[in-house]
Amino acid sequence: MSQFDVAVIGAGPGGYVAAIRAAQLGLRTVCIDAGTNKAGDAPALGGTCLNVGCIPSKALLQSSEHVHTILHDFAEHGISLSEVRFDAEKMIERKDAIVTKLTGGIKYLFQKNKVESIFGRASFAGKHGDNWQLLIDNGKGEHRSIEATHVIVATGSVPRPLPLTEIDNINVLDNEGALNLTRVPGKLGVIGSGVIGLEMGSVWKRVGADVTILEAAPTFLAAADQQIAKEAFKYFTKEQGLNIELGVKIAAVNKGANSVSVQYEHNGESKTVVFDKLIVAIGRIPNTQGLNPEAVGLAVDERGFITVDDECRTNLPNVWAIGDVVRGPMLAHKASDEGVAVAERIVGQKPHLDFNCIPWVIYTDPEIAWAGKTEEQLKAEGIAYKKGTSGFGANGRALGLGKAKGTVKVLTCAETDRVLGVHMIGPMVSELVAEAVMALEFKASGEDIARIVHAHPTLSEVLHEAALAADKRALHG
């Protein structure tokens, strides 16, 4: 039986990074993963993020943004085209090629760092002395047992099912099905206005679909700062034409041969809408399928999350869990940082991860990003704060890009001026938010951001101006 210092279950952004870091620290490491490529005929590392999540969705968002730019924005640059053709199949092929390149890259990184990779689904089988025993099923009736002193569970999450219908990825789609449409649906329905719903709705709206998003919550983007969320709602509905209905109660979903009908109640009115395709994007749930936690007494809470402490330790000695399968935001970068931290804790180091400093990003157009406390949270917690805002409308770089929409909002402590939260909607704010994270992590003040020289002309000047505005000394607004 093969023995390892560390066995990582799952090769998503949390698992593969944890495995690499453990190997770098001198630990004999194995990573076990059951993921396959799109065709299902070969192993594929990278988990949901690389294969059917973060990476492919960003590829489609970029392709669809090019289409929208050609059709709607080129004219003001003096560019005219006599004919524009869009090939959805080619867009999907490009996305698939990016996925293949990156998943292959993880295989190379494993080889470079001497991480052993085993294909299959791992489950707990018991304990032998100080080692945990794992049984690996390769899906072909073949099993292999290994032992490891430490186990890191990084099995991620799966789409939350909608009880009213089954996902067939033909007409009723989850995130994977939404990423593989080869024809633009005439009428597309999306249940859920979270990150996946908004991004996938945006992709297919830009290339010609009539998109309706149905959201059960009465508030749009409840996790975001509501000033930014309200601005986003205006852009998405009034300017881009997404039909977003909030406070919806779905009554029934009926699949036809080539369509899906959805019955729902909205503002006291019963409605039935027929869509060509329906995307179900109502969140994700932890994935512990086949893990067999009962065999060793691994604690799982009532929502299905593996129970861990602040350092990702489970109730079992030397068993750790990270990423989507534990508490905290379901974000790839959170999982990766937890994986690094756990690997370092195993060898006695003392890393620290502050959830308040983790950035959130939604890759719509305009993009939405934030880190730290929202204004609503500060009010609820009774924290006195200062607020500064600045818009992209007068920013030279944004105007040159033709993307002069959006706002940056800086929240600082009224007494100490320490940065408490930064919230953004606008062009490339997925990149700008890194400065906000740095400020939060190093406990910077609003004045620190205001005193740092920002290059001109750049989009970052809007963050600089918002920090100035928090101290009532804005220069350009």
Label residue 338 by pLDDT band (50, 70, 90). very high
Is residue 215 marked as binding? Answer: yes
Is there a single domain that holds both residue 304 and residue 272?
Answer: no
User: Is residue 50 a known part of a binding site?
Assistant: no
The gap between the terminal CA atoms of the chain, to the nearest Å, is 68
Is position 455 annotated in a ligand binding site? no
The CATH number for 418's domain is: 3.30.390.30
> Is 156 marked within a binding site?
yes
Kind of pairing between the strands at 210-214 and 121-128: unpaired
Would residue 164 count as lying in a domain? no
Q: Are residues 238 and 315 both part of a single domain? A: no
Residue 476 lies inside a defined structural domain of this protein = no
Q: State the average pLDDT over residues 242-257.
A: 97
**Whether residue 408 is found in the same domain as residue 314:** no
Answer yes or no: is pLDDT of 7 > 90: yes
> Which domain CATH number covers 244?
3.50.50.60
Are residues 252 and 212 located together in one domain of the fold?
yes
Task: Classify burial at 15, counting beta carbons within 10 Å of its beta carbon; exposed 0-12, middle 13-18, buried 19 or more.
Answer: buried
pLDDT > 80? residue 355: yes
63, 38 Cβ separation under 8 angstroms = no
155 is in an annotated binding site: yes
Task: Answer with the one of 318, 336, 353 that is the final residue of a domain.
Answer: 353
Q: Say if CB 419 and CB 439 are below 8 A apart.
A: yes
Rounded to whole angstroms, the Cα distance separating 223 from 368 reads 12
What does the pLDDT read at residue 1? 75
Residue 384 identity (one-letter amino acid):
A
64 plus 154 within the same structural domain: yes
**71 and 145, same domain (yes or no):** yes
> pLDDT-based confidence at 352, cuts 50/70/90?
very high
In a domain, 123, yes or no: yes
Residue 143 bears catalytic tag: no
Q: Is 448 annotated as a binding residue?
A: no
pLDDT tens, residue by residue, 273-284: 999 999 999 999
The answer to whether residues 445 and 394 belong to one domain is: yes
Alpha-carbon gap, residue 255 to 224, rounded angstroms: 34
Residue 477 pLDDT: 78
> Does residue 63 register a pLDDT over 90?
yes
Q: What is the mean pLDDT of the chain?
A: 97
Tell me which of 316, 336, 353 is where a domain ends: 353
Residue 477 located in a structural domain: no
Give the number of other Cβ atoms within 10 Å of residue 348's Cβ. Answer: 7
Q: What's the whole-number mean pLDDT along residues 247-262?
A: 97
Same domain for 243 and 298, yes or no, is no
User: Strand 260-266 vs strand 249-255: parallel, antiparallel, or unpaired?
Assistant: antiparallel
Which amino acid is located at 278 in the chain?
A: L
The single-letter code of the amino acid at 254 is: N
71 is in an annotated binding site: no
- The pLDDT tens digits of the residues spanning 166-215 come to 999 999 999 999 999 999 999 999 999 999 999 999 999 999 999 999 99
Domain match, 345 and 369 both: no
272 and 315 share one domain: no
pLDDT at position 446, please?
Answer: 98
Q: Is residue 383 part of a domain?
A: yes
Model pTM score: 0.97
- Statement: residue 432 has pLDDT above 90: yes
Q: Is 120 labelled as part of a ligand binding site?
A: no
Residue 165 maps to a domain: no
Based on the domain organization, do 305 and 397 belong to the same domain? no
CA of residue 240 relative to chain centroid, distance? 22
**Domains of the chain: total:** 3
58 annotated ligand binder: yes
Whether the Cβ atoms of residue 400 and residue 457 lie closer than 8 Å to each other:
yes
Which of 72, 266, 456, 476 is the catalytic position?
A: 456
Most distant CA pair in the chain: distance in Å? 74
Give the pair of three-digit tokens for residue 167: 């996902």
**Sheet strands side by side (includes 367-372):** 360-362, 367-372, 419-426, 407-413, 385-391
* 3-state SS, residue 132: strand
Helix (H) or strand (E) holding 264: strand 260-266
- Residue 420 has φ and ψ, to the nearest 5°, of -110, -30
Summarize the confidence of residues 63-77 as an average pLDDT. Answer: 95
Amino acid in the structure at residue 413: C
Percentage of the chain beyond pLDDT 70 is 100
Are the CB atoms for 282 and 113 separated by under 8 Å?
A: no
- Answer yes or no: do 176 and 239 share one domain: yes
Task: Answer yes or no: is 353 a known binding residue.
Answer: no
Q: How far is CA 107 from CA 11, 37, 95, 97, 214, in A?
A: 10, 13, 19, 16, 39
Q: Is 309 annotated as a binding residue?
A: no
Residue 244 domain boundaries: 172-280
